[in-house]
Amino acid sequence: MSTARLTINLQALASNWRALDAKTDVETGAVVKADAYGLGAEPVSATLAEEGVRKFFVAVAEEGVAVRKAIGPGPMIAVFSGHMEGDTDLLRDHDLMPLINAPEQFMRHQQALPDHPFGIQLDSGMNRLGLEPADWAELRPKAEALNPVVMMSHLACSDEPDHPMNRQQLKTFREMTDGTASPRSLAATGGTFLGPEFHFDFCRPGVGLYGGMPFAEAKPVVTVDLPVIQVRPVEVGESVGYGNSWIARRPSRIATVAAGYADGLHRAIGGGIDAFSGSQPCPVVGRISMDLITVDVTDLPEDPERLRILNGHQTVDDLAEAAGTIGYEILTSLGARFSRGYVE
């Protein structure tokens, strides 16, 4: 092994979907945008389709093409960015369903693909994507006459269950959609834990499937193994890495592994995390470089050939906390250079 390796456990992925599905009495879809949060849209979507997922969500039409290829005809693939200019051929040729976000998108869709199914994305307060209440009030009779396949909105603060924004958005979403015959959806991973009022006709988790918070009981899906390039002795008082930020206080052995911030192991992670030899944690010391990380392996009985930086003991959320970010960002920035393997 000379390159770092990202291993994705598809069984853990499927098990997380089943666990999230069991939290509600409604259908559970799957958000597979951004290449399934960096883990590979095709194997992830194929696994979930086999598990019974019938509603997939991507950010842009191009991503939907890869998902359609993986799962074949049948299941719904909805596109959060809606029907953008230039999307018509992809939407039609790959049976992708745009989630209409604005009156102009509705017009575009009606002109370009009048018989092609669509959904409606509503802005219930996040002010990011979706039709505003006033635009929706005007469009609703025309849109509803065409039977939108879904009506959905997205919560801004669902990872904070007590945040008043959750109920505020629930109220707005209800006001915008009550009385409709279309299936409705409001909850992503966080919303799944807010109670049945938030579930409507289906939930659409993303990050929880991949082992991230706010799904606290998620099984870890990703492991990352880093090959050790060399191990060196370091004397008391000698420093390691850029900026001399770590200085040996005992005679030490330092392993240098082949991965760094160019692989999404952010420089901001700094200290405070470990790399594992089996279940034995070894502290990461010194600054994380572009392609190299230094690890104190003094307490290991022998020099390791590889060290694992992501596993069941140290999760994407632990790395995220050390870097001052969220698990989503760690997942999606991992390893363009890593070799990827899948465990069925």
Helix axes 164-177, 133-144, angle to 10 degrees: 40
Question: What is the distance between the alpha carbons of residues 321 and 328, in angstroms, rounded to a whole number?
Answer: 11
Among 64, 82, 206, 211, binds ligand PLP (CB under 6 A): 206
Contact (Cβ atoms closer than 8 angstroms) between residue 187 and residue 199: yes
55 classed as catalytic: no
261 classed as catalytic: no
Contact (Cβ atoms closer than 8 angstroms) between residue 204 and residue 55: yes
Among 23, 68, 108, 154, binds ligand PLP (CB under 6 A): 154
Binding of ligand PLP at residue 119 (CB under 6 A)? Answer: no
Q: What counts of helices (H) and strands (E) characterise the chain?
A: 11, 19
Question: What is the distance between the alpha carbons of residues 305 and 302, in angstroms, rounded to a whole number?
Answer: 9
Q: Which residue is nearest to ligand PLP (CB)?
A: 206
CA atoms within 13 A on the CB side of 300: 22
The answer on whether 290 is annotated among ligand-binding residues is: yes
Binding of ligand PLP at residue 81 (CB under 6 A)? Answer: no
Identify which of residues 38 and 205 has a Cβ nearer to ligand PLP in the complex.
Answer: 205
Number of residues that bind ligand PLP (CB under 6 A): 12
Identify which of residues 193 and 246 has a Cβ nearer to ligand PLP in the complex.
Answer: 193
- Active-site residue, selected from the candidate residues 69, 210, 242, 328: 242
Question: What is the distance between the alpha carbons of residues 259 and 333, in angstroms, rounded to a whole number?
Answer: 13
Among 20, 31, 226, 295, binds ligand PLP (CB under 6 A): 31
φ, ψ for residue 221 (rounded to 5)?
A: -105, -25
Give the shortest CB-278-to-ligand PLP separation in angstroms: 31
Give the shortest CB-234-to-ligand PLP separation in angstroms: 42
Identify which of residues 206 and 264 has a Cβ nearer to ligand PLP in the complex.
Answer: 206
Question: What is the distance between the alpha carbons of residues 100 and 83, in angstroms, rounded to a whole number?
Answer: 6
Structure tokens at 123: 């802005």
Binding of ligand PLP at residue 200 (CB under 6 A)? Answer: no
Of 322, 321, 262, nearest in space to 292 by CA:
262
- The single-letter code of the amino acid at 213 is M
Phi-psi region of 279 (alpha: psi -120 to 50; beta: other; left: phi over 0): alpha
Residues between 213 and 252 that touch ligand PLP (CB under 6 A): none
Contact (Cβ atoms closer than 8 angstroms) between residue 100 and residue 122: no
Structure tokens at 194: 């807010």
Among 82, 119, 148, 205, binds ligand PLP (CB under 6 A): 205
The answer on whether 128 is annotated among ligand-binding residues is: yes
Binding of ligand PLP at residue 188 (CB under 6 A)? Answer: yes
Binding of ligand PLP at residue 189 (CB under 6 A)? Answer: yes
Binding of ligand PLP at residue 48 (CB under 6 A)? Answer: no
Among 14, 75, 78, 80, binds ligand PLP (CB under 6 A): 80
Residue numbers annotated as active site: 33, 242
Pick out the residues of the known binding site.
128, 290
Binding site for ligand PLP (CB under 6 A): 31, 33, 80, 154, 188-190, 204-208
Pick out the residues of the known binding site for substrate.
128, 290
